[in-house]
Chains A and B, each alone.
Chain A
């Protein structure tokens, strides 16, 4: 018997079903993502196109195979909900009363306890409905409270990111360098947790000079050893015996790319509470402090 038509039909159905499942449905689901203003606490646009040097750096990242040991995706296993009381209001006793009568499940609130040491968490790691009930009760009693959202998970505990990665984070990446192995740490948010370019140069040139026991290979060919002529270069990572080691344009591009990797904007689809944007004075302080790598930041680079 001739089964040709049946075989053809079977193959056709198998190919078209996988096309629907693996090409069309992701396109329908995620294909229309655009740059948005839907970050929760700020009105800034997210994500932004990487600057030109950082886009060159992406090519250096690909060429050197960084993606074989580094992923760029932060995972999240759950979410902790806290209720932060910022203002007990004029009548703390009424607020305590309202809190106890609400569905929040609070049985031991009192006026003195509520009004001392604000702002503070009055409920930690509760069900989100209970948290909403508590905030509603406190607001109706004239107090001010807000819900704090804290993503939890191993990656977040390792300080690799503050929230999970979502499709929006990769809007301008081509190709998306998600990575699948984690010989090294995740880099989805490396620009925010290690913001010092000099640290990155030293780390690329000699990883174990800044991170003890690092398994990363050194990339000395991204640097140039040259005699000091006149003034020493301001960005030399080392100078000795009339020679200095300076990053090549490839190293500069790669570091610009690494610093542009940040996923610390709260998005609707990945909610997280963040500190309000720093004031002017705080800005200058943090700018002056960028050359100092905190012990915690170096430890998290492991």
Chain B
């Protein structure tokens, strides 16, 4: 017998050959993953409960809303109000006595210039205030600057100010007006108080 065979490893104890994953396969996987992520981003609507086929994302659903030029903002405002404001100010815009002031027929809402209203929505409001001769102030209004876009704030204010069912008749608010005020109060972290708002010209 050949003595060298005694030292050789047996067949079933041999080390398996280490297969290396080819580079092209890794590159292909990464590219496919990237393509998948981009496809999902464009078509998936990011799991939004409001996006259904044949629409691909929320912007597209918004673009397909029926209606006219200025009427759009009003209808968008209706849906923003229904999701955001209705819990406190109520569907009829009358609020809750002592806590949430009414928006219907309110002198604050019907000011010709919307500067103060935009500030209230952006930065919030706390402390006592008088609306239609009644005292309110048991509740604090949330600042919506981080939550709502300029377009949404303009829409909801337009909806509130032009809501004929509530007896309101004031000019519409544009997203540009909201953007201008947002820039002016960008550094503010505290909610407004009623006396402070009254010291600001509504046109600013």
Chain A positions within 8 Å of B, measured between CB atoms, are 25, 28-30, 32-33, 36-38, 40-41, 43, 76-79, 81, 128-129, 132, 135-136, 138-139, 144-149, 164, 166-167, 266, 268-273
- Interface size for B (C-beta < 8 A) is 29
Q: In chain B, residues 36-67, which have Cβ atoms closer than 8 Å to a Cβ of chain A?
A: 47-55, 60-61, 63-67
Given known A36-B83, A38-B83, contact A136–B69 (CB-CB < 8 A): yes
Contact partner, B54, options A78, A148, A266, A273, Cβ 8 Å: A78
Stretch binding the partner chain, chosen from B71-79, B98-106, B144-152, B181-189: B71-79
Interface of A is mostly: mixed
Nearest CB of chain A from residue B12's CB, rounded to whole Å: 14
User: Roughly how many angstroms separate A38 CA and B60 CA in the complex, as a whole number?
Assistant: 17
Residues of A within 8 A of B69 (CB): 135-136, 138-139, 145
A135 touches B65 (CB 8 A): no
B66 touches A148 (CB 8 A): yes
B65 touches A149 (CB 8 A): yes
Chain B positions within 8 Å of A, measured between CB atoms, are 47-55, 60-61, 63-71, 75, 78-79, 81-83, 86, 91, 165
Nearest CB of chain A from residue B42's CB, rounded to whole Å: 16
B65 touches A268 (CB 8 A): yes
A152 nearest CB neighbor, chain B only: B54
Residues of B within 8 A of A78 (CB): 54
B66 touches A149 (CB 8 A): yes
Nearest CB of chain B from residue A268's CB, rounded to whole Å: 6
A37 touches B49 (CB 8 A): no
User: Roughly how many angstroms separate A166 CA and B82 CA in the complex, as a whole number?
Assistant: 19
A271 touches B65 (CB 8 A): yes
A149 touches B91 (CB 8 A): no
B80 nearest CB neighbor, chain A only: A38
Contact partner, B82, options A25, A37, A135, Cβ 8 Å: A37
